[in-house]
Amino acid sequence: MLDCAQAMPQTDSPQPDSPQPSPLCLLIMEDERADLQLIVRTLKSAGIIFTYEAADTIEVCQQLLNTQPFDALLSDYRMPGFTAYQVLPIWQQVQPEIPFILVTGSLGEEAAVACIKSGMTDYVLKERLFRLPTVLMRSLQEFALRRQQQAAMAQIQQQAQQEAMINRIVQAMRGTLVLEEVLQTTADQLHTALKADRCVIVQPKADGAMTAQYVSAATVHRAEILGYTCPISTSYRESIDQGQTLQVDCMGQISRPEPRTLAQQFGIQSLLMMPLLYQEECLGAISLHQCDRERSWTVNEVSLVRAVADQCAIAIHQAQLFQQIQQQAQREQLLNQISRDLNSSLDPNYILQEIVECTGECFGVDRVTIFALDPKYVHVLNEWRAHEQIVSMLDFKAPLSTWADRLDPNSDVFWGRVLHAPRFADTVEPSTYRDQVEPSQTLSVLRVPIFIRDQLFGGLVLQTTTCYRTFTDDEIRLVERIANQAAIALYNAQSYENLEQLVQVRTQELKEEKIISEAANHAKSEFLATMSHELRTPLTGILGFSNLLIKQIFGPLNEKQQQYVMGITSCGEHLLELINDLLDLSKIEAGKEELALETMVVEDVCQACLSLIRERAYNRQLQLILAIAPDVSTCVADHRRLKQILFNLLSNAVKFTEVGSITLQVQKQLMPTAAGDRVMLQFSVIDTGIGISAADQALLFQPFQQLDAGLDRKYEGTGLGLALSRKLAQLHDGDLTLQSEVGKGSCFTLCLPEKLPQALASGPEMESGNKSWQ
């Protein structure tokens, strides 16, 4: 094919980076040397880059056209021994896709029209040879455009053919839900459309082997191929599963022995195998065979088969989904039926018989049994058989000692787990099989345990006696659900008479456990309160003596002694804070904490708390901000406890903030309660510190919980401050809440009622376990 752009005349000064056009290859029929040179000079003077071959006999012309491609044929009208009319059929037969231009000395108008009608492209008189470059370029462009149009038309026809075939297959899919009809129609359509000798659709069987499930009806020896295991798809299974197309133009390209043997057996010379892939799952493959010749499969043919394969994969997937839905519906129907039957009676024998009958009819096995274990024996309780000729196991009873492997939890055949044995004889000892299994003629077994309150009751067993059977995962799960239903029904039946007594016993046990728990909790609080007092008394003495030493009343201390005494004082004060927190927490939990309520100015309390942490904040270059809403002036609370809560929150904010600011914000907020809307004061401590993760927030208000609990702690503290602060807030009929995000700081909000209930405002003794102030 000639690209028109390559036939353009060369410019006087081409760009250095522009690709140079390929030279034209011309065949010039001329017996006059002077005329030939004149034609060549004319083309070169027009800047056309070309090579040429000259012929002065018809034999040389035919030989060149048969052996070498040309871009155009230039011929004199009349030469000794032959004319251009004699060259015309050779050109039309060998290279009709190139222009045929007459370059002649004289030609009448009638003769020119006759030449054009006979098929020649154009003509140029030698006396006007300067027109030859224009005519040549115009003819080349016309032929190039014609070739493009022909290629486009061929492509359109191929696309139309492809779309028509896909539409036929889609219509077949819509016209029936029978997958077999859809796939057989697909095989027949591809066989006809691609003119192949054979179209085969292979699909995997239960054992994974690819077999020929559908063969085009026009295939010779079709019956011999149906059901045949395909060695080619088996040998290249990994590639097919990955969605790779197997395209073999010549079977000599295949080196693997099994595919070569199959090709020889069925006379395959060329092969195209397209996987049926849906969501990365291989559902089979379409295989096209050419037997009469070797064949190069074109891109359009491969594209067509791929499009058809995609539609087939969708159809197979939809059919599988429909089948799964039907199976699921049948299973749910079976479970519902079993559930209704079991709930209709509390008779264990009736329940077990219904289970074996429903299970046997659903799964189509030969025998279903339910066995039970007692301290000495294993015996069959109920049985269902497909017909009377099947050996009955209803009277089976054997000592547990003969089934030691079934009682071992580490054994593969332990009664407490599912046993799936498509060949049951392979799972038991030969002697046991001969004595106990062989008489029952059992071939395949699916056994599922039945547990009642975590105790192994026995099992539900499905057996075949006429053929081997492999149960699917879905079937196994369904039998497990049936066994669970049986366990529930048996438990209900067994426990019906004793249910009320069991409830009463358990209720009494819970009451006793609650009393013991409450007593233990109270004893703990009493112990902590007592021990805190006992510890604080000597600690106060230690701090008093150390303070006297620091003041050097009884004589001077050297630098080392002062350092040690300061350390004793610091440790003592830290320990005293811990003991005070423990004492406060214990008093609240024991219900002995009392609040001294009073009306105070909010700004004075906030300024007092900020003054306590100002030096530490200054040392860490943190900005302290106080923001009090204009409508907030006073509050009612225990002055000491309110300062304790705010100081604890501000101190924590300083501790966990490296840079930025700490804001104490106070505002009113209307909050809904069970008794109606209530005005609350919100004291919010907002920092720009490290923040707290959601997991840590859940534990933060528990005693002794800290952000960096562990061996390598970065921040000091006892983990009691926030727990104590929240309990103190709740004593005020309020709460302490947190909003935080890691790396973006935290906001602790203390909510207190603007006006306390009259009973609380009058100063009664409050017990945390008995407060209801709304």
- pLDDT at residue 9, as a whole number: 35
What angle do helix axes 132-175 and 179-193 make, rounded to 10 degrees? 160
Let me know: does 54 contact 30? Beta carbons within 8 Å.
yes
DSSP string, 599-656: EEEHHHHHHHHHHHHHHHHHHTTPEEEEEE-TT--EEEEEHHHHHHHHHHHHHHHHHT
Mean pLDDT rounded to a whole number for the chain: 80
Kindly give, in sequence order, each residue whose CB lies less than 8 Å from that of residue 154, ignoring residues fewer than 6 positions away: none
Question: Each residue of 508-560: pLDDT tens digit?
Answer: 888 888 888 777 767 766 676 666 667 667 777 787 777 777 777 777 888 88
> Where does the pLDDT of residue 422 fall: very low under 50, low under 70, confident under 90, or very high at 90 and above?
confident
Structure tokens at 117: 């009608």
Question: Each residue of 125-180: pLDDT tens digit?
Answer: 888 888 989 999 999 999 889 888 888 887 788 777 767 776 776 676 666 667 88
Whole-angstrom distance, CA of residue 623 vs CA of residue 97: 89
- pLDDT at residue 345, as a whole number: 66
- To the nearest 5 percent, what fractions of the chain are helix, strand and coil? 50, 20, 30
**Lowest-confidence region among 178-192, 395-409, 723-737:** 395-409
345-495 matches 4-150 in CATH topology: no
If we measure between CA atoms, which residue out of 573, 568, 536 comes closest to residue 549? 568
Let me know: does 445 contact 393? Beta carbons within 8 Å.
no
User: Quick check: 246 pLDDT over 60?
Assistant: yes
CATH classification code of 176-323: 3.30.450.40
- pLDDT at residue 169, as a whole number: 66
Mean pLDDT computed over 366-380: 87
User: Residue 710 half-sphere exposure, CB side, CA atoms within 13 Å?
Assistant: 5
- pLDDT at residue 8, as a whole number: 33
User: Quick check: 709 pLDDT over 50?
Assistant: no
* Amino acid (one-letter) located at 743: G
Beta carbons within 10 angstroms of residue 602's beta carbon: 18
Question: What sign results for the dihedral spanned by CA atoms 31, 35, 36, 37?
Answer: positive
Greatest alpha-carbon pair distance for the chain in Å reads: 149
Structure tokens at 82: 């032959």
User: Residue 95 half-sphere exposure, CB side, CA atoms within 13 Å?
Assistant: 22
- In the block, tokens 């492809």 appear at 162
Question: Each residue of 192-233: pLDDT tens digit?
Answer: 888 899 999 999 886 678 888 999 999 988 888 888 888 777
Structure tokens at 504: 């009463």
Yes or no: domain 594-770 corresponds to CATH 3.30.565.10: yes
- pLDDT at residue 138, as a whole number: 92
- pLDDT at residue 525, as a whole number: 65
Out of 3.30.460, 1.10.287, 1.25.40, 3.20.20, the CATH code matching 507-588 is: 1.10.287
Domain coordinates in residue numbering, the chain: 4-150, 176-323, 345-495, 507-588, 594-770
- pLDDT at residue 300, as a whole number: 81
- pLDDT at residue 683, as a whole number: 94
Out of 3.30.450.40, 3.90.280.10, 3.65.10.10, 3.40.50.2000, the CATH code matching 345-495 is: 3.30.450.40
Question: Each residue of 649-669: pLDDT tens digit?
Answer: 998 899 889 999 999 999 998
User: Could you give the 3-state DSSP secondary structure of residue 387?
Assistant: coil
What angle do helix axes 602-619 and 639-655 make, rounded to 10 degrees? 30
CATH classification code of 4-150: 3.40.50.2300
Structure tokens at 113: 């029209």
Whole-angstrom distance, CA of residue 333 vs CA of residue 478: 12
